[in-house]
Structure 1
Amino acid sequence: MQVKIQPYLRMGTFLLLFLITSEEARADFIIKNVELRIDPSSEVHRGTNVTLTCLAEVSYSQGSHPNYTYMFYKDYKPLKPYSTSAMDHLYFIKDARVGHSGRYRCAVVIEKQTKESSIKDLTVQGLQTPVLTVDKTRLTEGEDVTANCSAEGEIGSLTFFFKNASEELYSKATHEHHIEQKLSLTGGAGNLSCLYSINLGSMIAFSNNSNLIKVNIQELDIKPVITVHPSTAVIEGDTISFSCTVDVLQQQNSELRIILVRGSTTLRNMTKNHYSIDAKANDSGEYECISQIGAIHKSSSVNITVQELFSVPVLSISSAQVFEGEHFNVTCQVNSFASERIQIDEIKYSIFRDDALLISEGSYSVTASKETNGKYTCKAEAKKISKKSWILALEAKVFVSKPEITVTGPVIVGKPFRINCHSEHGSLPIIYTLKKNTFNLSWTQVSNHHDEVSFLATVSTPADISNYWCEAKNNGPPKRSEKLYASVIVPVGKPLLTVLPVPGNIKEGDNVTLICGIAKGSPPISFGFYNSSSSHLHTATVASNFSAYMLTEVNRQHTGTYYCEAFNQAEERSQSDPITFEVSLAMWKKALIAAFCMLLVALLVLFFMMRYKAKKGKREMAAKLSVKPASTKSDEMLTLNLTNVTHYNADTVRVKDKESVWTERPLYVADQESAGPLNEGDVEYTEVVHPEHLDPIRIPLRKGTDTVYSELQTSQGAPEHLNHQDIGEYVKINLDQLPEPMD
């Protein structure tokens, strides 16, 4: 039985086998080596046929046939690729030229594998000699010749050069092997040749010169002839005529141009007319006739000398410096003239100021003023020749005016300040000198109206300011300023702070006045009052040398340290020494405390007396009921009469008893009426003892003490009240040795 295979199954099997075979083929070859060969040699002569062979050494599995792609490179630039199944490939260079020289290599590509050969150099020696041809060998001056330079078969980057003998006429780079160019030749003959160079990358090679072609050039007879009449040496005022002529035949050429030129200035087209001028001194120089046809031009020249008829007039002023009010002369004259043509009296003069005619003579006299200032010139004329002098500017100088002396900013004793000196009028330069009495302190010269003159100075007292003055001078008599007057500020001295009432007598409710005074200082003066705890209290600016500030109804919180500061326009603050005072209690508070203490003592005494009597009654009752002991002494009882106690200071009366009471009260001396109350702080201790009968066995009495302390302070005087009159009198008394404020 025969099995039929479906067509699509056969196709799939074939593709599968093809893929497997292709994969195996790709995996079963390797490029082992690639070699480049150059035949017949790597160095050949021009015209040799050269073969480049690229050999591939490849290993591959049996039965596979890989396809090779060969690539050749010259100077790293790819040439045309070629694919083949052969293991080598040839690249032919027929009739090699120098342009084929370079660095060659090849590469083999099989599928995705590539391998390159090493680099080899090919050198082709021998550039051919170019061939030069021209369209004609006989030319008329101004005509062009067309030249062709050819290097048949040469390749590469070529540069052609055209030469006339050793002179290079033209050059051009091209990739063609020939070039054609129109050339312009000058002179009677030309020797034309050409050559070329080739760029080989690392070097440039030059060919030999081509064949030499001689070209004859017929010169155009157009050189002009220049004629001057009457001569080339003339005197100002003479008429000079110029004419330029060329060959008669050439004059018929419509392209001919003839031009008269002086330096860079074209005077006239001379084809048909002559050119004439009235000679002047500045007309001396070279004159040139130029003839031109197309690009050809020829010239002839002549030098002209023009002698001055008379020299340029000179303007002068009698004095180099003219001050207003002074007399001066202006003169105009010539230093030389052509005596063969004119006489000195034939020269006429005119003097001008600001282009306005002053006088038609050679001299001018006037008194200097602002009206005579200006730009002066003069003019000399003869034989229709007129010449002007140089401009001379005249500005009559002004004598310096009386200078004014002032100061800049405040003048403070002991500190430098600036003194300004300025004159309203006066011609520059001006010299200013600062003087003190008869001594020169400093000087400066002003050459610009915008400059300001100032000098540095100091004063030690206000009176020193009037010793300064300044002087101004500008080649005339010096002018002296007035003496300097300015307000002088005296810095404040150290202030003195005074407190009223005096510290130690200040009580609550008093008005305390702080007075700050200084020994020296210019008003207005600012006084500042300060408390070390509450900082700034008050500041006042006054015209006197003291100021006061009142603390009204002071209390204990006003206790502290106080000081004051003083300063004026000198901006130097001076601080007084600090004063500390304490505010004591008011008298009524002291009396109230004393009364309270006395009341407390009285209550305590009354309490203990009542207690004592109560205990005494109980002991007597007990004594009556008890049996009296056999060996007993008389009942010892200590009776203390408080009314007989006159004075106890630190000592106390101590009695052994059952109970005792200590009291503290104000201390009084025996004679209370004469002595009065004790001072604050004196303390009296009094012990009140309650006596009791001793028991038979004389057991020591147990003493209980209750002590009360009170402190009384003495009054230090009633508050004092001050008014402004009292303050003024007080300051006058305390500052009577201080000098008055200085203005």
Structure 2
Amino acid sequence: MSVCLLWLGLSALWQAADIHAAVTIDQVTLTVLPASNVESGTEVIFRCEASVSQSLSQSLTYSFRLLQDDQVVYAENISASVMEHSLSSVRVSNSGHYKCSVHIYNKHKMSDVLSLSVTGLQIPTLKVKSDIVSEGEDIIATCSASEEIGSLVFYFYENDLEVKRVKSNGNSVKTILTTQKVTEIYLRCAYIVMMHSNAGFSNKSNMVKVIVRDLDAITPQISISPKGNVVEGDRVQITCMVKYPSDLELYLTKNITILHKSHTTFTKSLVVRAEDSGDYVCKAEKGSVQKKAVYTLHVAELFSKPILRMSPEEVFEGDRFNLTCSSNVTSSVKIGKADIKYVLLKDGGRIKEDAEYEDTASPATNGKYYCMAMAKEVNKTSSPHDVKAKVPVSAPVICAVDEVIVGKPFRVSCEAESGTLPINYTLLKTHVPVAHRTVVTAADRAIFNVTFISFPEDINTFTCRAYNRGSSFSRTSEPLTSPVIVPVSRPVLETKEDTISEGSDLTLICRVQQGTYPITFTWYHNRVILRPSIKEVRSSEGRHVIKAIKREQRGNYYCEASNYASETKESDPAKIDVSLALWKQAVIGLLCILLLVAIVIVLIFFCKRVSHPRRRKQETELSVKPSRPKSGDPMRISLTLDIEDNTVLNGTPGVMGRNVWSGNASGSDSDDPPDEDSKLVQPQEVGLCREVPVTKSIEHHYSVQHTEVQVSTPGVLEQADGQAALEYAQLNNSEQGPA
């Protein structure tokens, strides 16, 4: 049972969810009747209609909202799909952009924007509290447009001229208008709607006439007694009166000063002086209305304003000065010159009751002096005279403002520690004036430009002279003393030798002839600075040592010198050559010797290889030459081939060969001379292939004494070979004897 109830409950919920989900708002339409552009006062009906689709036919609740410029102006929850809202009499304030929204369950939809434009403003109504007012009295006016709604701005006009504008959150406003004119005025008003200023101004209201009455009753009168000539010291009575003193204020003024104030008639008494001459005004004031009367008073001088004079006009401390006070009698009928009494004052205190004062100028006498003249209760004070004793100028001090460098311009200042301005300064060189300056303010200084000095000692030739009361009272300073910087001269780079062995230390000496210490030296190698080589020394020379110099460090060296003169000078370059180290030279020499020996060995070996085949060839071509042996020695045949190279005069090479048979007395290699039978004989024609009988054992000895090989022409070679064969046959024949 409980399960069934649960099922029914869930089913109901699902059905409700299905119902909600099945509702959709198709369209919301907003219309306005009779039209979107209407005149003011027309009845307008807004009609909002919702088109809804739903799955079940049942009653729905529609929540309608009517909005004007995104502000809700009307809302209604109904069961109908159409809502109407009526405005019985629209005004300009009802103009705007309207929209209608509809809510059903969780569905929401908005209509398109509909514009309503209302034209025409109500004519306002103007009322005043009283149409008859007195001069200066306020006018209370009320302007209203009872049918308008919204915030309005009201404009008030006086004789068609705008005199005031007032903002109001309602359709009516009350204000106060003030007028100063004694006449009839005509008032009107108009308005605009603040939120719809494009609607323009309304028509002007009805015209209200207001009469402004003149307040002659408060017009004052002024009188002064005695009348006629008034002289300083006379007492005068000034009376200010009004006929109807009711609710008003009465003033007596001179220039912008109020002398007296009252609510009724009054009299002012005073002893006048010459400065009391002028216009006296009696003014009556009620509200914003003012009435006045003017009287001009002329007061003649009894005596003139005293004048304080000082002699001399300027004094220095220690000088005597004199002060004199004097005044002239103007009205001789009233007083004489002896009737005027004088009092001298300093800084407000009396110093002497006399017209003259004498003293010695000093800091104690400095101050403001003035005098006062008195006669017949009239006191007159002179203008103040400032007495300040001038201070004589002290001996000035001369000093250099800039660094002093020989050959360059610099500035010097001349200044006295004490002395009243203005002070005149003169710069002197060797006691001759060269420039002048006048210092008139404490912030100013006497600065002189000096072109240059040639030597450091020239600095002491400058002095300065100052005076402030005449050249005869001048003071002269001590000579100028200041450090003088001498620029460095062109440096010279020195080295012990131009060529140095690799691995040795190279010392570079940079020397200048002149220049103020400290001097900074810098060394360069091939235009590149040597680091670290910048040295600041208090000497005229600087040294830089290159340890264990290398071959790549050869080249051009130079140095630069500079000091506080900020002028750098460069030396001429010095060329340094770096030779090889001794051990490297020895190694190279040894290597060269070894290389030469190797070359010789290779050449010898090559020559032997080339000459060995040629020798074999020559030995095969040798002929055997028998020699007559000595008694008791075996026969020994020795073959000698001499080849001589001859060169003809025309440079054509020729070869001549000759075969010589020589016999030795013995088969040994002794140097015994041969016998006569071994001499050469005339050759005879014999056959080249003739056999030579040998009866004894012969020892063949082949000896090559001399060999020269030279390329020759074939003809010459053939001739040489024939000649050799002929000699060979002749020798054989001579040895055999006659046939």
Matched with 1:442 is 435
User: What TM-score comes out, normalization by structure 2 length?
Assistant: 0.58
Aligned to 1:119, which of 114, 118, 128? 114
Aligned to 1:235, which of 214, 226, 231? 231
Question: Does structure 2 conserve the Cα–Cα contact (< 8 Å) formed by 1:162 and 1:170?
Answer: yes
Give the root-mean-square deviation of aligned CA atoms: 5.7
Aligned to 2:426, which of 433, 446, 449? 433
Structure 2 residue identity aligned to 1:472: A
Aligned to 2:374, which of 372, 381, 393? 381
Structure 1: how far apart are the matches of 2:516 and 2:91? 113
Is 1:461–2:498 an aligned residue pair?
A: no
Q: Mark the CA change 1:171 to 1:469 in structure 2 (over 3 Å): closer, same or farther.
A: closer
Q: Deviations over 1:154-197 (max 9, x none)?
A: 32323456677668787654444445567778768886665554
Question: Does structure 1 conserve the Cα–Cα contact (< 8 Å) formed by 2:19 and 2:56?
Answer: no
Q: Deviations over 1:679-735 (max 9, x none)?
A: xxxxxxxxxxxxxxxxx999xxxxxxxxxxxxxxxxxxxxxxxxxxxxxxxxxxxxx
Structure number, greater radius of gyration:
2
The structural deviation recorded for 1:526 is 8.8
Q: Mark the CA change 1:61 to 1:267 in structure 2 (over 3 Å): closer, same or farther.
A: same
The DSSP-based 3-state class of the residue aligned with 1:79 is: strand
Question: Does structure 2 conserve the Cα–Cα contact (< 8 Å) formed by 1:232 and 1:304?
Answer: no
User: What TM-score comes out, normalization by structure 1 length?
Assistant: 0.58
Structure 2: how far apart are the matches of 1:221 and 1:170? 30
Structure 1 residue identity aligned to 2:267: H
Structure 2 residue identity aligned to 1:202: N
Structure 2 residue identity aligned to 1:337: T
Q: Mark the CA change 1:482 to 1:457 in structure 2 (over 3 Å): closer, same or farther.
A: farther
Is 1:198–2:178 an aligned residue pair?
A: no
Aligned to 2:32, which of 33, 37, 44? 37
Aligned to 1:279, which of 272, 281, 286? 272
Matched with 1:631 is 668
Structure 2 residue identity aligned to 1:388: T
Question: Does structure 2 conserve the Cα–Cα contact (< 8 Å) formed by 1:321 and 1:397?
Answer: yes
Structure 2: how far apart are the matches of 1:93 and 1:158? 20
The DSSP-based 3-state class of the residue aligned with 2:74 is: coil
Q: Deviations over 1:22-62 (max 9, x none)?
A: 54454xx732x7251322x4454554433333455667789
Q: Mark the CA change 1:7 to 1:280 in structure 2 (over 3 Å): closer, same or farther.
A: same
Q: Which residues of 2 match residues 540-689 of structure 1 at below 5 A?
A: 631=668
Is 1:308–2:301 an aligned residue pair?
A: yes
Structure 2: how far apart are the matches of 1:515 and 1:164? 108
Percent identity reads 29
Aligned length: 562
The structural deviation recorded for 1:92 is 1.5
Structure 2: how far apart are the matches of 1:49 and 1:547? 114
Q: Deviations over 1:251-306 (max 9, x none)?
A: 5x6x6654434444433344586321111233233433445677876544433333
Q: Mark the CA change 1:420 to 1:201 in structure 2 (over 3 Å): closer, same or farther.
A: closer
Question: Does structure 2 conserve the Cα–Cα contact (< 8 Å) formed by 1:47 and 1:97?
Answer: yes
The structural deviation recorded for 1:116 is 1.6
Q: Which residues of 2 match residues 122-271 of structure 1 at below 5 A?
A: 122-130=117-125, 132=127, 134=129, 149-160=143-154, 172-179=166-173, 195-199=190-194, 200-210=196-206, 212=208, 221-231=217-227, 234-247=230-243, 258-270=250-262, 271=264
Is 1:92–2:71 an aligned residue pair?
A: no
Structure 1 residue identity aligned to 2:371: C
Structure 2: how far apart are the matches of 1:35 and 1:137? 52
Structure 1 residue identity aligned to 2:260: R
Q: Mark the CA change 1:67 to 1:633 in structure 2 (over 3 Å): closer, same or farther.
A: farther
Question: Does structure 2 conserve the Cα–Cα contact (< 8 Å) formed by 1:189 and 1:216?
Answer: yes
Question: Does structure 2 conserve the Cα–Cα contact (< 8 Å) formed by 1:132 and 1:194?
Answer: no
Q: Deviations over 1:572-615 (max 9, x none)?
A: 89999999999xxxxxxxxxxxxxxxxxxxxxxxxxxxxxxxxx
Structure 1 residue identity aligned to 2:454: S
Structure 2: how far apart are the matches of 1:146 and 1:52? 42
Structure 2: how far apart are the matches of 1:394 and 1:15? 113
Is 1:342–2:335 an aligned residue pair?
A: yes
Question: Does structure 1 conserve the Cα–Cα contact (< 8 Å) formed by 2:94 and 2:116?
Answer: no
Structure 2 residue identity aligned to 1:235: V
Structure 1 residue identity aligned to 2:252: L
Structure 1 residue identity aligned to 2:462: Y
Question: Does structure 2 conserve the Cα–Cα contact (< 8 Å) formed by 1:96 and 1:124?
Answer: no
Structure 2 residue identity aligned to 1:348: K
Where in structure 2 are there 5+ consecutive unaligned residues? 499-506, 579-665, 672-700, 704-739
Q: Which residues of 2 match residues 15-54 of structure 1 at below 5 A?
A: 20=18, 23-26=21-24, 30-31=26-27, 34-39=29-34, 41-54=35-48
Q: Mark the CA change 1:180 to 1:468 in structure 2 (over 3 Å): closer, same or farther.
A: closer
Structure 2 residue identity aligned to 1:236: E
The DSSP-based 3-state class of the residue aligned with 2:201 is: strand
Question: Does structure 2 conserve the Cα–Cα contact (< 8 Å) formed by 1:130 and 1:196?
Answer: no
Structure 1 residue identity aligned to 2:463: W
Where in structure 1 are there 5+ consecutive unaligned residues? 505-513, 583-628, 635-695, 699-743
Question: Does structure 2 conserve the Cα–Cα contact (< 8 Å) formed by 1:527 and 1:564?
Answer: no
Q: Deviations over 1:310-369 (max 9, x none)?
A: 332233345554456766654433467234433344333444444555655545566766
The DSSP-based 3-state class of the residue aligned with 1:240 is: strand
Question: Does structure 2 conserve the Cα–Cα contact (< 8 Å) formed by 1:45 and 1:126?
Answer: no
Matched with 1:619 is none
Question: Does structure 2 conserve the Cα–Cα contact (< 8 Å) formed by 1:412 and 1:488?
Answer: yes
Matched with 1:710 is none
Structure 2: how far apart are the matches of 1:211 and 1:568? 100
Q: Mark the CA change 1:232 to 1:57 in structure 2 (over 3 Å): closer, same or farther.
A: farther
Structure 1: how far apart are the matches of 2:152 and 2:29? 34
Q: Mark the CA change 1:475 to 1:69 in structure 2 (over 3 Å): closer, same or farther.
A: same
Matched with 2:707 is none
The DSSP-based 3-state class of the residue aligned with 1:241 is: strand
Matched with 2:623 is none
Question: Does structure 1 conserve the Cα–Cα contact (< 8 Å) formed by 2:46 and 2:85?
Answer: yes
Structure 2 residue identity aligned to 1:79: V
Structure 2: how far apart are the matches of 1:205 and 1:344? 80
Question: Does structure 1 conserve the Cα–Cα contact (< 8 Å) formed by 2:122 and 2:147?
Answer: no
Question: Does structure 2 conserve the Cα–Cα contact (< 8 Å) formed by 1:36 and 1:106?
Answer: no
Structure 2: how far apart are the matches of 1:103 and 1:228? 76
Q: Deviations over 1:387-423 (max 9, x none)?
A: 1222222334455455454556875543545444344
Q: Mark the CA change 1:521 to 1:147 in structure 2 (over 3 Å): closer, same or farther.
A: closer
Q: Mark the CA change 1:163 to 1:387 in structure 2 (over 3 Å): closer, same or farther.
A: same
Question: Does structure 2 conserve the Cα–Cα contact (< 8 Å) formed by 1:36 and 1:117?
Answer: no
Question: Does structure 2 conserve the Cα–Cα contact (< 8 Å) formed by 1:399 and 1:476?
Answer: no
Question: Does structure 2 conserve the Cα–Cα contact (< 8 Å) formed by 1:515 and 1:546?
Answer: no
Structure 1: how far apart are the matches of 2:362 and 2:18? 125
Structure 1 residue identity aligned to 2:308: L
Q: Mark the CA change 1:239 to 1:12 in structure 2 (over 3 Å): closer, same or farther.
A: same
Is 1:421–2:414 an aligned residue pair?
A: yes
Q: Deviations over 1:203-245 (max 9, x none)?
A: 3432432463757879594444333221386322111222333
Matched with 1:654 is none
The DSSP-based 3-state class of the residue aligned with 1:458 is: coil
